[in-house]
Amino acid sequence: MEKISKNRGVLFFIFLISFLTFVLFWPVFLQNKIPFNANLLASFYNPWAQEKFVNWEQGIPNKPTGKDDLLIFYPQRTFTTSVLRDREIPFWNPYSFSGNYHLGLSETAVFYPLNFLFFLPAGRQEILPQIDVWVFLIIIEPIIAGAGMYLFLKRIVKSEKSAVFGTLAFAFSGVVIVRSVEGLSVGHSLIYLPYVFWGIEAFFQTKKIRFLWIMLIGLSFSLLAGWFQFTFYIFVFALFYSTVKLYFVKNQTKFDFLILTPFLILPIITLFHTIPTLQALLEAPRVALEGRIFSYQHLVPITHIFTLIIPDFWGNPAVYNFIGKSEYKESILFIGVVPLVFSLFSIFKKKKKEELFFIGAILISFILAIDNPFSRFIIKLPLPVFSSFLPDRIFLITTFSFCVLAALGFDFLTSGKKEIVLAVIKKSFLFLWIIIFILFVFLLVNVAKDPGILGRVDAAGINRNIEAIQFRNSIVPMFLFFITTFLFLIFKNKYSKNIF
């Protein structure tokens, strides 16, 4: 009976995450649209970019999103596929500039296993159309990320509901969704993070070697997907987690130290990918041009923390009014209002070792991404490659940690003692309400000084006033937080019997 119950839980999870992914990408299935901005080519290239048309006096309309796929990744994939079909390895791309490295660019992801879907046969056609495979690889990103998160959380929480809750928070978090449509290689590099943590946790619980293989496969797939900075964060983050788990393991034996082998083997088995990349790096002008100067532009202000509650606190490029530092896709931090509330339960309650680790990860990632003397010092260090990392990309670690804490907070809510649970809930909501009240009053005062800013637009019909953007974009998140608070009051003392 227990096995049947587990199977039902897994089937329900698969149905739920697949259904939500369908809802998210419904235009693909119901309107035959594609999440790829090929129609923007006219906006970027002459002579069309310079022409003026009737009713388009400001130029051809374009949304400044998804440009990397259009200008870089999709053309690279076209070239890669054409060369591999001729049974050759694409070391060099004669069509990029006056000729450029191709295999060594890493993000070309020549050897990424899932990219071999581009060679599947399709009836009368020799292979599937590239755009169809491209869209499929976009759509499955939340599902792949969610499956790994579910397997990991099942190892550290008591309740199936808690695991599903934390999984959905991560699978549909800002960083996963934005990166699924902003750089195919980028998104596929980050979605294997939870698989590595699943392998770590499962190995310590079962002592079975196969979970070391899962760790190694997760790390390898992330590296081969082509976005090294995310792989580096996953590698270091998982290595620290493994070391901490190793330190606290009871009756430690030499066998436990096998947890370190995937980290040692990874550089060796991926030399076919890393050697060409290193060669390209050594000859790249970016080293001479001081890449760290670009990195300073991606240190975000301390007020960026507000995007945990209001995701578009600095606007959104899809509606032409993003005015924040860095870029929207690089600095996205939002996991959802409700998961954020549950993550605070983990922070305010008596904490376990796992919770302390992920709270520490959040603090460290904030210190490295927020503009402060220490983060600037790190960028100044003469470290090849690492000094030119965009610092706010470490919010991947922040997002993952918040989602884990949300699952643990849900677990605490449904299984903890009522008196303790109520006390933690009060502290969490009091803390959030104080912040939100101060923030909303600040925004309201700015608007009250000049109410006309809410309707003031430029020649293109866009309101780029910072106070207007922040006030308008705060209304929906604050309403959701109000509803969440109301639900907690309604279901008081009955949390374990209700699903929010």
DSSP result, 360-393:
HHHHHHHHHHB-SHHHHHHHHS--TTGGGS-GGG
Q: 476 in helix, strand or coil?
A: helix
The stretches of 86-159 forming alpha helices (DSSP H) are 130-139, 141-153
Contact 237, 397 (CB under 8 A): yes
Phi, psi (degrees; rounded to nearest 5) at 77: -65, -40
pLDDT of res. 456: 79
d(CA 220, CA 269): 8
pLDDT of res. 176: 94
**Biggest alpha carbon–alpha carbon distance for the chain:** 77
pLDDT in tens, 355-411: 899 999 999 999 999 999 998 888 888 777 777 788 999 999 999 999 999 999 998
What letter does residue 350 receive in the DSSP assignment? P
Q: What would the mean pLDDT of 137-156 be, rounded to a whole number?
A: 94
Going along 376-497, which residue ranges are E strands? none
The radius of gyration of the chain from alpha carbons, rounded to an integer in Å, stands at 24
Other Cβ atoms within 10 Å of 253 Cβ, number: 9
Other Cβ atoms within 10 Å of 128 Cβ, number: 17
pLDDT of res. 13: 85
Q: 125 in helix, strand or coil?
A: strand
Of 441, 434, 425, give the one whose Cα is nearest residue 495.
425
| pLDDT reading at 34 higher than 90 | no
Q: 97 in helix, strand or coil?
A: strand
What letter does residue 113 receive in the DSSP assignment? G
Which position has the token pair 């995937």?
Answer: 262
Of 356, 17, 322, 67, give the one whose Cα is nearest residue 191.
17
d(CA 340, CA 327): 23
List for the chain the helix, strand, coil content (%; round to 5).
70, 0, 30
Q: Which helix (H) or strand (E) segment is 436 a member of?
A: helix 418-449
pLDDT in tens, 210-230: 999 999 999 999 999 989 999
Buried/exposed 342-365: b ≥16 CB within 10 Å, e otherwise: bbbbbbbbeeeebbebbbebbebb
d(CA 465, CA 329): 21
Query: Which residues sit opposite 300 in a β-bridge?
Result: 370
What letter does residue 92 receive in the DSSP assignment? E
Contact 203, 259 (CB under 8 A): yes
pLDDT in tens, 313-362: 998 888 888 888 888 888 899 999 999 999 999 998 888 888 899 999 99
d(CA 157, CA 321): 41
pLDDT over 90, % of the chain: 44
Lowest mean pLDDT among 46-50, 74-78, 98-102: 46-50
Phi, psi (degrees; rounded to nearest 5) at 167: -65, -50
What letter does residue 200 receive in the DSSP assignment? H
| pLDDT reading at 231 higher than 90 | yes
What letter does residue 51 receive in the DSSP assignment? -
Q: Which helix (H) or strand (E) segment is 78 a member of?
A: helix 74-85
In terms of residues, how long is the chain?
A: 500
Indicate the average pLDDT of the chain: 86
DSSP string over 244-310: HHHHH-TT--GGGGGGGHHHHHHHHHTHHHHHHHHHHHHT-HHHHTTTHHHHHTTPBPGGGGGGGT-
Lowest mean pLDDT among 91-95, 400-404, 453-457, 477-481: 453-457
pLDDT in tens, 173-213: 999 999 988 888 899 999 999 999 999 999 999 999 999 99
d(CA 445, CA 179): 35
| pLDDT reading at 257 higher than 80 | yes
Instruction: Return the structure tokens found at 475.
Output: 């209304």
